[in-house]
Structure 1
Amino acid sequence: MVVKYKNNWIPTKSLEEMSNTNYDVLIVGSGPGGGATLQRLCELWKNQGAKKIGILEKGDKLFHSHSLNIPTQNVNTARDVLLGDNSTTFEERLPQFSGARMVYALGGRSLFWNAATPRPISSELNKWPIHRRELNVYYGMAEKLLHVTTDYAKGSSMQNVFLKRLHAAGILEADDMPVAFDMTPSRQGEVHSNPWYSSINALAAAQFDRPYDLAVNAYVSKVTTQGGRVSGVEVLSADMRPHRIRAKNVVVSASTLETPRLLLNSGIPGQAIGRYLTGHVSIIAVGTIPRRQFSDKLGNFSILKFETKESPYHIQILGPDQYFSYQQFEDKVLKDQLMVAYASFGRVEPRAENRVYVDPSVKDEFGVPLQQVQYSLSNKDRQTADQVAQGIRQSAAAMGVTLDESTLVLRPPGSDMHEASTCRMGDDPATSGTNRHGQIHGVQGLYVADNSVLPTLTAAGPVLSNTALAIRLADHLVRQSG
């Protein structure tokens, strides 16, 4: 007898049940953008029982939390084993973006991200189609939702020594790295057992505010419209049975690669949809430093060399070894030589020719055309990559770290998992997929709430910006609904 349990740590609905409901808001995708939109809607509509909210996830339930919160995992095993076992790569099909990787599961790639949450550089935010005062409010709300802190490595001798050395060498933009990590202790029955943030936290916060409908293994194949307004989606179940779900508003948060695919396959108008695909030039280098240089109170370190106008990149400086994040059950074995990791991300120029498009001749198992990617680095991008490598060398020298030069290698495009801007926000439909509220130009009620809506991608990772804009979108939806 085969025993199969229901895996019901979060309530779900069938597509048959959801097809009998007319939703006020239907969200496609459960990553950071979809989760933040849902959480804010449930918060604002907490006492609005008549409002109907649904969320559809292409994948299944996987983990109930970020991978680093799982007791059997540390930063090494989650990255080297667990991510590979639970993700999809595209080396052969997308050779120009061969490093791309997707996680088709509830929570998406937020189950694995390293939680660095700096705000984008101010000079770039000033160019966005949203006033800075308004942006600052929503970044603050996003940081609250994500429990952003700069105290993660507080009190560590390595953190203190490295920061002093960096500052003494004139690298003044180095500071404590902001991370999405809940440092609140569990007490008096209030449990804080999921410190590393994933969008599962947002789904949970939403659930305790008000009910919503969630379906997993729900493959959205088409967005439907009528008279210039969204009417719902067509969705396939795992056994390929079709369903139609009606909605007054549809928020697509399927990812930078999947969202334009869905919109293009749906015949949604917009000459910029899929254009301006932007990632980072990325290098992950390592070096070593003698253990004897530090006190017994070694600790970990979590430093960020922030982006500046002169240096269009940032460097996350993490370690030692796997002890940036490890389980309480592990013995902390420290060698004479400690490893220091430099995870660096440089800006890439937004160019219309870098794009996601669909190829009608190449289809998935559901018969839906797959996306293709056209992507290349400009001369300026390659110059930025050289700056990144030089910045790592300078930081390592200042810190007294012996750098392994063989690791200073540019990673394949897409390896950073920071791709953005394929439905970017703007005022001109010729150069942007959505307006300043994330609504697709010319289609009432159809919105985008993932990394693809970012107007530009700075050196900072996209999750904090994505979350801030998703919360702002939810506020807009509530205002529009009256």
Structure 2
Amino acid sequence: MRERMRTMRLYIADSTDNLRTIALKYEIGIKELICLNPHIIDPLSNIAGQQVKLPPLKGLSDKNVDLPPCTLQLINPEAREQWIPLSSLDEMQHKEYDVLIVGTGAGGGAVLRRLIQQLANSGKRIGVLERGGLLIPTHAQNIETMTSRRVFDYYSSQANYIDNYLSGQIYALGGRTLFWSSTCPRMTDSELLQWPIPLSELTRYYDLAEKALSVTPNFTKGAPLTQLLLDRLQRNGYPDATDEPLAVNLEPPNAFGVMNSNPVFSSVHFLAEALNYPYDLAIHARVVKVLTDQNRCVGVEVISHNKQTFTLKAKNVVLSASTFGSAQILLNSDIEGRAIGHYMTNHSRVLGLGQINRNEFPEVLGPLRILVPGQIDRPYQIQIIGPDNYPWVQYAEQPLREKWSFFLATLGKVETRYDNYVSLDPVKRDKDGVPELNIHFSYSAKDEEVIRLMGEGVKQAAAAMNAALVSDEGPALCQLTIGSDIHEMGTCRMGEDPSTSATNHFGQIHGITGLYVADNSVIPTSGTANPTLTTVALAFRTADEIAKQLK
């Protein structure tokens, strides 16, 4: 009886129903229906609105069904709080890796993704070590509660500064790609022709990098503010001005269930793609030394968050720990090389605040992202971003204003000089016992001239757009502090001559087999372009060389 009640059905009678019509409708014997509903005295009386019990459906047996129990484990008692699979240093110290990647920013993520593509199903063992922990699983701009101001403030709260140099380091999975501007121009051909890689080969790897990062000029496609100001620039002396190329995936989810939930790129995207094949990833794992034997790399020394020291074995090590981090590791490892840590460059910066009249533009403004690239006779790039703090929005509503402001931000080429360098402090040690890094950097007379030219260039660009330069809690035109570009490069620059370069054209440290660098530090000259796209392109090329050696 208990089993029958468990599978019993209920029916609410229609306006013309009685037990006989219900029996005919559901092909139920009238006697069975009367037995189930003793409260209904007359089987022919109208029972509109009343509940009527129906027997179980045919085929659903009242007897126990002899089926095996499901083995699906709904709860994992050993689950850890993590959004990406992690390994422990204790586990990793008992393995020998074909490749160990140090750092998970743009360079490290790119090396991992490309190696996984090239070595899939080869049985090669790849490990990844990240100094920091898990901060956020995507670019901050993809988080719905963020605004441009909130992203900047959150970045500032997480940044670590070295020797009072104004370029915050992010020690977390994904590194600074969690907060970067996503601007992705290529270096100019005139710049690349000075490098130790054929231009045709660099072009091919740029193509691969742009595809991997979903670089597009269409973020501002159809945005009236961008298109009207762009037209003014092109008609008034800046024919090469263009929609800013951004690493933003604008493709919608397709019909096969592929989700595009994180449009703005971070290297977490590379880490996720690589999960199609096995690799080991440890966080809170700071590499402090590279280990070598007879001029060959054999592994690394790692310190965990609880100050335990581990030795990890590897045939190849790729340092992608940042321009400062990779140089610090090499110097602390006593790796010989006159150029290691030297030839540091960055971008000088001048910032202007432009203003336009709202009544000159349509009702809908849209975002403002314009790029004026550097040229041989223009040793700087101009990014035009706005309006105000609304270069992108999720839910924030733009207020009604008579005037709108926007930024004209320049990046100036900085001379490559041996005397700009980083070094280990002879006395000071950080919390892990590693010598602190000292930064020695200044602008040359040539750099100062570029800064002057940038100031004039901002004025000319503003005039070309019929925009005024205005003051708002500061000067209308100003030079930003050294390091504010967050584009430091060159401390492990590539080249053919070991006396003026730390790595060869594949990013391998001169004289040390199996030791590579793949981050901003290998970029040999600053150029005028944001460096991330170039770093990814060079990292892909380095990964291809490593894969070739392993096959």
TM-score (norm 1): 0.96
Q: 1:85 matched to which residue of 2?
A: 157
Secondary structure of 1:281 counterpart:
coil
- Whether contact under 8 Å (2:298, 2:315) holds in the other structure is yes
Distance 1:377 1:7 in 2: 47
Matches within 5 A, 1:307-322: 307-322=374-389
Question: Which of 177, 180, 191 is the matching residue for 2:259?
Answer: 191
Distance 1:455 1:168 in 2: 35
Distance 1:54 1:213 in 2: 5
Distance 1:307 1:186 in 2: 36
Distance 1:132 1:7 in 2: 46
- Whether contact under 8 Å (1:340, 1:401) holds in the other structure is no
1:360, CA displacement in angstroms? Answer: 2.5
Q: 2:424 matched to which residue of 1?
A: 358
Q: 1:480 matched to which residue of 2?
A: 549
Question: Which of 163, 179, 182 is the matching residue for 1:115?
Answer: 182
- Whether contact under 8 Å (1:349, 1:380) holds in the other structure is yes
Instruction: Give the aligned residue type for 1:11.
Output: P
Q: Does 1:24 align with 2:112?
A: no
Q: 2:107 matched to which residue of 1?
A: 33
User: Greater relative contact order: 1 or 2 (C-alpha under 8 angstroms, separation 6 or more)?
Assistant: 1
Q: 2:61 matched to which residue of 1?
A: none
1:89, CA displacement in angstroms? Answer: 2.2
Q: 1:349 matched to which residue of 2?
A: 415
Instruction: Give the aligned residue type for 2:266.
Output: S
Q: 2:132 matched to which residue of 1?
A: 59
Distance 2:507 2:470 in 1: 44
Distance 1:37 1:404 in 2: 44
1:75, CA displacement in angstroms? Answer: 1.3
Question: Which of 517, 521, 525 is the matching residue for 1:452?
Answer: 521
Question: Which of 325, 346, 349 is the matching residue for 1:258?
Answer: 325
- Judge which range, 315-324 or 430-439, deviates more: 315-324
Q: Does 1:75 align with 2:143?
A: no
Q: 1:268 matched to which residue of 2?
A: 335
**How many aligned positions are there?**
469
Secondary structure of 1:409 counterpart:
strand
Matches within 5 A, 1:343-422: 343-404=409-470, 406-422=475-491
Question: Which of 55, 69, 84 is the matching residue for 1:10?
Answer: 84
Q: Does 1:466 align with 2:535?
A: yes
1:141, CA displacement in angstroms? Answer: 0.3
Distance 1:38 1:107 in 2: 12
Q: 1:333 matched to which residue of 2?
A: 399
Secondary structure of 2:428 counterpart:
strand
Q: Does 1:125 align with 2:192?
A: yes
Cα deviations by residue, 1:90-146 (Å, 9 ceiling, x for unpaired): 4xx34xxx3121111111111111011110010110111011111110000000111
1:86, CA displacement in angstroms? Answer: 1.1
Q: 2:117 matched to which residue of 1?
A: 43
Provide runs of 4+ in structure 1 moved above 4 Å.
Answer: none
Q: Identity over aligned residues, as a percent?
A: 43
- Structure 1 segments unaligned to the other structure (5+ residues): none
Cα deviations by residue, 1:255-308 (Å, 9 ceiling, x for unpaired): 001111110000111010000000111123222211111112321121001101
Cα deviations by residue, 1:306-358 (Å, 9 ceiling, x for unpaired): 1011111001101112221111x222324221111112110000000000111
Secondary structure of 2:316 counterpart:
strand
1:402, CA displacement in angstroms? Answer: 1.5
Q: 2:504 matched to which residue of 1?
A: 435
Cα deviations by residue, 1:235-255 (Å, 9 ceiling, x for unpaired): 011010010000000000000
Distance 2:80 2:355 in 1: 47
TM-score (norm 2): 0.84
Distance 1:76 1:172 in 2: 32
Instruction: Give the aligned residue type for 1:350.
Output: T
